[in-house]
């Protein structure tokens, strides 16, 4: 009997037990579907986080203050008030690999305009910020050197989400209007272009004001929250990082052996950290899904074993009619493989659809990669073979006379 005949015999047997075949496939459908969906979502999350971090600016270094230490109680990272505007000037003169730098302070404010009222984050910074952080303008202008030099001018540049929250539409006309931040009136001079507002990093829900104005009118403290630094080139990132660290240690008069009271974070570091996190997440989700795939495979073996027992008589009849052990083995093995491969294909479809749906619901890109589909498909076929061989062998080795007598 050739392979094609074996396949036809197997398909006929599966059709004869539709309900059981579908239920058996369900385990594999769910398993493969979960693997494909989880890996798709994981890859999508990883890709979107990468693009967000790259969107923060190119060749970016971020200096944040160290932890505060009040009477032995450690505050969170960035809680110390060790970073000052004077540090900026010192870095600028000492670090040759630095192309531009922008000090920044931030706080949360209540924004009021007409009947609109929203809470958002305000960033006080300088004109260089736009270049370093890739901020582009939809309307009006960004902060200028004149704004910074003035020291008390109250101008604001709004992110599109702020405009939308205040007026109900990001396209609304707000340029030249006066809004109130914590009851301090500011003139709106610009609206930034959308940078994509996905995940936890929303670069659109922010208001930019001049550094001094923010420190004097909104925060009331002189320390900085961040210094954003653009290195001259990608190759000079490490050099720049070393120079900035050295300059700040000198500025803060730290002797050898004393720990830094600040942190210089490399964009590449953030990127690789985030990638590690998302990869771990993908692996974790994929692993859990993989376990369900395994359970599905055991389900197939279970059903095939039941099927072999239930069809003992059929096996006996086939053997009496001249079926060899090989023919019976092939028949049951093909049944198991058809179940798992068919289930796997449906699972891939559902998984791709599911991750697409999750992507549109969570407003993130998902990517179903060819390798993950091939892997899931190959794995399900493998499961069919592995978990099918045992029952199929059991059937093939049956003694015809015992099988025929079986009630």
CB of 372 to other proteins, least distance (A): 39
| 3-state SS class at 257 | coil
Of the candidate residues 2, 93, 115, 256, the single one contacting other proteins (CB under 8 A): 2
CB of 318 to other proteins, least distance (A): 7
Using the minimum distance from each CB to other proteins, give the nearer residue, 172 or 404. 404
Residues 260, 253: Cα–Cα separation, whole Å: 10
Assigned token pair, 26: 């369900």
Q: Chain-centre distance of CA 246, in angstroms?
A: 34
Number of residues that bind other proteins (CB under 8 A): 23
| Residue linked to tokens 């230490």 | 69
The two most distant CA atoms of the chain are separated, in Å, by 103
Q: Which stretch binds other proteins (CB under 8 A): 1-9, 44-52, 87-95, 102-110?
A: 1-9
Of the candidate residues 325, 356, 364, 375, the single one contacting other proteins (CB under 8 A): 325
Residues 267, 292: Cα–Cα separation, whole Å: 37
Of the candidate residues 19, 73, 200, 321, the single one contacting other proteins (CB under 8 A): 321
Using the minimum distance from each CB to other proteins, give the nearer residue, 217 or 318. 318
Q: Which stretch binds other proteins (CB under 8 A): 56-64, 201-209, 244-252, 398-406?
A: 398-406
Residues 286, 262: Cα–Cα separation, whole Å: 38
CB of 397 to other proteins, least distance (A): 9
Task: Measure the CA angle with vertex 94, ends 88 and 99; round to 5°.
Answer: 70
| 3-state SS class at 58 | coil
**DSSP assignment of 351-390, as one string?**
HHHHHHHHHHHTT------HHHHHHHHHHHHHHHHHHHHH
- Answer yes or no: are the C-beta atoms of 395 and 318 closer than 8 Å: no
Q: State the DSSP code for 137.
A: E
Of the candidate residues 150, 269, 314, 365, the single one contacting other proteins (CB under 8 A): 314
By CB under 8 A, residue 313 contacts other proteins: yes
CB of 375 to other proteins, least distance (A): 37
By CB under 8 A, residue 319 contacts other proteins: yes
Using the minimum distance from each CB to other proteins, give the nearer residue, 317 or 386. 317
Using the minimum distance from each CB to other proteins, give the nearer residue, 358 or 404. 404
Would you tell me which residues interact with other proteins (CB under 8 A)?
1-2, 5, 9, 12, 16, 313-314, 316-327, 400-401, 404
């Amino acid at each position: 009997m050739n392979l094609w005949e074996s396949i036809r015999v197997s398909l006929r047997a599966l059709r004869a037990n539709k309900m059981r075949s579908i239920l058996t496939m369900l385990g594999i459908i769910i398993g493969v579907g979960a693997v494909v969906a989880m890996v798709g979502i994981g890859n999508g999350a990883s890709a979107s986080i990468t693009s967000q971090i790259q969107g923060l600016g190119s060749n970016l270094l971020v200096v944040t203050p160290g932890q505060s230490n009040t009477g032995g109680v450690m505050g969170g990272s960035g809680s110390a008030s060790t970073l000052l505007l004077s540090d900026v000037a010192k870095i600028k003169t000492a670090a040759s690999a630095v192309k531009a730098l922008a000090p920044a302070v931030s706080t949360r404010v209540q924004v009021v305009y007409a009947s609109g009222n929203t809470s958002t984050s305000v960033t006080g910074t300088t004109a260089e910020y736009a270049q370093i952080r890739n901020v582009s303008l939809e309307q009006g202008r960004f902060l200028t050197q004149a704004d910074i030099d003035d020291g008390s001018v109250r101008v604001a540049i709004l992110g599109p989400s702020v405009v939308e929250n205040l007026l109900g539409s990001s396209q609304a006309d707000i340029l030249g209007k006066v809004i109130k931040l914590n009851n301090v009136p500011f003139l709106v001079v610009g609206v930034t272009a959308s940078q994509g507002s996905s995940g936890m990093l929303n670069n659109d829900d922010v208001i930019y004001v001049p550094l001094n104005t923010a420190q004097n009118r909104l925060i009331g403290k002189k320390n900085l929250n961040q210094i954003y630094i653009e290195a001259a080139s990608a190759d000079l990132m490490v050099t720049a990082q070393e120079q900035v660290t050295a300059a700040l240690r000198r500025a803060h008069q730290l002797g050898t052996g004393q720990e830094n009271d600040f942190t210089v974070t490399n964009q590449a570091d953030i990127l690789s950290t985030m990638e590690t996190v998302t990869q771990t997440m993908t692996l974790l989700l994929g692993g859990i899904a993989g376990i369900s795939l395994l359970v599905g495979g055991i389900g197939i073996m279970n059903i095939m074993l039941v099927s072999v027992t239930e069809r003992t008589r059929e096996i006996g009849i086939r053997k009496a009619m001249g079926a060899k052990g090989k023919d019976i083995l092939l028949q049951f093995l093909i049944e198991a493989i058809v179940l798992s491969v068919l289930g796997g294909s449906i699972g891939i479809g559902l998984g791709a659809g599911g991750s697409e749906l999750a992507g549109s619901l969570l407003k993130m890109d998902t990517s179903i990669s060819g390798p993950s589909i091939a892997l899931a498909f190959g794995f399900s076929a493998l499961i069919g073979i592995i978990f099918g061989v045992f029952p199929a062998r059991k059937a093939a080795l049956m003694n015809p006379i015992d099988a025929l007598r079986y009630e």
